[in-house]
Structure 1
Amino acid sequence: MALNSEFKEDKELMESLCPNEKDKFEKWFADLNAENMRRNNVFYSGQKLENATGIKCWFDYFVDGYMPAEALDEDLTNA
């Protein structure tokens, strides 16, 4: 799955990743989107996150080792 975003900072992030890291992040982000589609507790629930929030804001959760569901839970507690 190729992540596409209209946001400049998202495009820059994706272009900066090595192919291996990009593949891993795209898989993680697909799982994040799937989990988000099952939820209805925040404004971006049920939407593709690359459109609703952008991609870059989720990258630190990926780097820090959060599972997709954990990232959504953590983001909710920080809102």
Structure 2
Amino acid sequence: MIAVSTDINTPQIPSMKAILGAAKKPVQVWSPADIGLNSVSAYSTQQVAAPKQRERQRVVIEGDGEEQIAAFVENLRKII
């Protein structure tokens, strides 16, 4: 696993000229043979599964501001 923070780089925003120029350039497509690989897949799919669906939960907190905040914090503590 590799993890990288978003602070690692500040991306440069391309100019309009660079964007339009990139749209005109041809796209190079390589086959596996072009880069020295055989055409057999380098991986195999073992299983494809969708995550289990969970029922959404909605909580309506009533009361004045302080009571609502206290109830909200209590609900967060139960989840975490």
Give the shorter-chain TM-score range: under 0.3
Structure with greater proportional helix content? 1
Identify which of structures 1 and 2 has the higher relative contact order when contacts are C-alpha pairs closer than 8 Å and 6+ apart.
1
Computing the radius of gyration from Cα coordinates, the structure with the larger value is 2
- Which TM-score applies when normalising by structure 1? 0.19
